[in-house]
Amino acid sequence: MNIREIFALNLRTMRNAKGLSQEELAHRADVHRTYVSSLERCVYSPTIDMVDSIAKILGVEAFELLVSKRLSSTRKAVKPNSEPSSDL
């Protein structure tokens, strides 16, 4: 999957999880509904400012819209070595 496809999939998934229609997201982002639809269909690529704006509306960090869920799951599963804390 390329970055545009990852963004489109994450946008649709996160928008649906928040219970937002394309029209409602478009209204909040001050863009036309067809633009949101085009983003979700990989017709257009968003600007970095639009990624940030959409992320804020969805209540996520901008990078979360751009990271493959497969990669995200791998990162959570593999934790760096850390020293055990001593709370004694």
Residue 71 has pLDDT above 90, yes or no: no
- The token pair at 68 is 């493959």
Confidence of residue 78 (pLDDT cuts 50, 70, 90): very low
- The token pair at 36 is 């949101």
Query: What is the per-residue pLDDT across 7-36, written as a single tens digit (0 to 9) for each?
Result: 999 999 999 999 999 999 999 999 999 999
pTM beyond 0.85: the answer is: no
Does the structural domain 3-65 have CATH classification 1.10.260.40?
yes
- The token pair at 26 is 């478009």
Amino acid at 4: R
**Residue 12 to residue 76: CA distance in whole angstroms:** 22
Q: Taking Cα atoms as reference points, which of 58, 66, 49, 62 lies closest to residue 22?
A: 58
Q: How many of the other CB atoms lie within 10 Å of CB of 8?
A: 22
Domain coordinates of the chain in residue numbers?
3-65
